[in-house]
Structure 1
């Protein structure tokens, strides 16, 4: 029997609580709760980073220097240590994590930090067929300053598998949500696209859902077999700038991007 999938929501000064996937599937309409104020920022600053379970020194200084002023932070392999949870709840309103790997004290998985409260939260998890380890994804929706709703997809794609069936299945599950969303979309994470078949599946997926890829003039992204692993894709927002930060604070380098609203 599969374990029930949920996200953990962290709020400063309050106990963490479980958030389960929405009961009703498609189609759905995102509506703001009555009295909700829209954010007032002019640009959308985004950080995407596989943080390697905070195993290396300097991760705190990197995420503090480049993450606290971002409006949206998508972390993969984020382990819910007190240090990370404290940072997240001090600087962000919405903090949601999907536990994928259970460690003795703190689970690890994708974590999305946002300056806005999500009005929709759907945790996803997929088990790798060879090692039986889980990889997670998280879909959240936030109000934007222009009144639109931004869908943020934070994904850590399955890695060890024979063939591409399970890889495609994980992306297709995400794609069901994207195709029913009317507003802008931002999708980032560690896609483990280390082979030609995986890359073909990924780019077929992005074409199908009209997602553009963020490119980097100086590309210092982590690679495997000569192929980058980390990506940011977007739809219905405008890319202003993007850089890859070189650091030894993880086995992946953070991706930084800034968008404007259409």
Structure 2
């Protein structure tokens, strides 16, 4: 029997709350619960990082240094250790984690830290066909100051699989939600796109969803077989700055992207 998919929400001063997938997709054009915008102005800073289960020293100082000015922090392989939960709840209004698998003490999975409470939260899991471990993804949504709704996808893609059937299967439900959403999108994380087949599937998916790829001029992203693993895709936003931070605090380097949230980018 498959385990139920859910997200754990961490908010300062409140007990952790279990969030199950919604019964309906984000209701485009319909009334949503009122919420404060994710950013007070037009600038939206996003940090994306596979944090390697906090197994290396200095992970916290990297988060404190580069995450403090970001309105969104998208982590993969985030273990809900007391130190990480304390950082998240001290610096962000809400942190949502999808437990992919449970380690001896703390669950590990994608975690989205945000400067606003999400008005929509949809956790997703996909099982690795060979290792039988799960990878997770999380779709959240936040109001922007201009009244639009930003959909954020935080993903850790399946790694060990033959062919791309399971890889494409994991992208399927995400594609359904992106196609349903009429508004800006950020989709980022560790896509494990280490083969030509996977790269082609990912780029085909992005093209079908109207997503553009953030380009890094000084590209120090973690690579496998010569291909980068971490990506940031977007639509209806403008990229004003993008950099890769070099650190030994994980086996991946963090990506820091600054968007202008007003207006859409012309192709």
Normalised by the shorter chain, which TM-score bucket?
over 0.9
Q: 1:236 & 1:30 partners in 2: Cα distance?
A: 20
1:89-168 to structure 2, matched below 5 A, reads: 89-168=89-168
Q: 1:111 & 1:146 partners in 2: Cα distance?
A: 26
Kindly indicate whether the alpha-carbon contact (under 8 Å) linking 2:11 and 2:95 is maintained by their aligned counterparts in 1.
Answer: yes
Q: Does structure 1 residue 22 correspond to structure 2 residue 33?
A: no
Change over 3 Å in CA distance of 1:28–1:20 after alignment to 2? farther
CA-CA distance at 1:173 after TM superposition: 1.4
Partner of 2:223: 223
Kindly indicate whether the alpha-carbon contact (under 8 Å) linking 1:8 and 1:17 is maintained by their aligned counterparts in 2.
Answer: yes
User: Structure 1 regions of 5+ residues with no counterpart?
Assistant: none
Q: 1:96 & 1:30 partners in 2: Cα distance?
A: 24
Q: 2:30 & 2:258 partners in 1: Cα distance?
A: 24
Q: 2:179 & 2:29 partners in 1: Cα distance?
A: 13
Instruction: After the TM superposition, list the runs of 4 or more consecutive aligned residues in structure 1 that deviate by more than 2 angstroms.
Output: 24-34, 36-39
Kindly indicate whether the alpha-carbon contact (under 8 Å) linking 1:30 and 1:119 is maintained by their aligned counterparts in 2.
Answer: no
C-alpha offsets along residues 183-203 of structure 1, whole Å, 9 cap, x if unaligned?
100000000000000000000
Normalising by structure 1, what TM-score? 0.97
Aligned positions, number: 261
C-alpha offsets along residues 210-245 of structure 1, whole Å, 9 cap, x if unaligned?
100001011000000000000000000000010000
Change over 3 Å in CA distance of 1:117–1:27 after alignment to 2? closer
Partner of 1:51: 51
Partner of 1:205: 205
Change over 3 Å in CA distance of 1:208–1:64 after alignment to 2? same
CA-CA distance at 1:42 after TM superposition: 2.6
What root-mean-square deviation, in Å, do the aligned CA atoms of Structure 1 and Structure 2 show?
1.2
Kindly indicate whether the alpha-carbon contact (under 8 Å) linking 1:30 and 1:149 is maintained by their aligned counterparts in 2.
Answer: no
Q: 2:41 & 2:208 partners in 1: Cα distance?
A: 31
Partner of 1:40: 40
User: Structure 2 regions of 5+ residues with no counterpart?
Assistant: none
Q: 2:150 & 2:246 partners in 1: Cα distance?
A: 28
